[in-house]
């Protein structure tokens, strides 16, 4: 049994026996976290690929969601994350901060507000 991690923030999510057919999100704001077994793997080998990423990779005309959709909002850094972000960029993905749409520019602040809200709920505030 192998522990699987969200590559965007390094959070251990589940073990390999639980991975089949799961749909999940991560508290760092990733709506479709890319999951890896080894955060130090410079190849960026994905253990559990989100369906939306599979669909975008299979259909070149389909737009790839923003990078944060998969990697979340985190300062966490590791070799696997850098490799996967480079691959997402090759597919045409951009960060919310790089997107020209005004609603996208506000998304990092909305995520900070969501995090503060849920932190307050966890702390009984």
Residue 25: its pLDDT value, please?
A: 76
Residue 16: its pLDDT value, please?
A: 60
Phi-psi region of 95 (alpha: psi -120 to 50; beta: other; left: phi over 0): beta
pLDDT tens sequence for the chain (125 residues):
788 888 998 988 877 666 555 557 788 888 889 999 999 999 999 988 888 898 888 887 888 899 999 999 889 999 999 999 999 999 999 998 899 988 888 887 887 787 777 666 666 65
What is the C-alpha separation between 66 and 55, in angstroms, rounded? 14
The full length of the chain comes to: 125
Domain boundaries, the chain: 3-94
Residue 14: its pLDDT value, please?
A: 74
Closest CA to 88 of 2, 16, 7, 23: 7
Residue 43: its pLDDT value, please?
A: 94
Contact 29, 108 (CB under 8 A): no
Structure token pair of residue 76? 């966490």
């Amino acid at each position: 049994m192998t522990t699987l991690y969200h590559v965007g923030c390094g959070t251990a999510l589940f073990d390999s026996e639980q991975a089949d057919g799961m749909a999940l999100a991560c508290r760092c704001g990733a709506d479709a976290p890319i999951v890896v077994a080894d955060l130090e793997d410079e190849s960026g080998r994905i253990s559990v690929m989100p369906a939306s990423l599979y669909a975008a990779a299979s259909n070149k005309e389909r737009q790839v969601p923003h990078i944060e959709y998969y990697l979340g909002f985190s300062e966490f850094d590791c070799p696997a994350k850098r490799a996967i972000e480079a691959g997402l960029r090759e597919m045409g993905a951009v960060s919310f901060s790089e997107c020209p749409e005004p609603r996208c520019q506000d998304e990092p602040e909305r995520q900070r507000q969501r995090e503060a809200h849920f932190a307050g709920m966890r702390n009984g505030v």
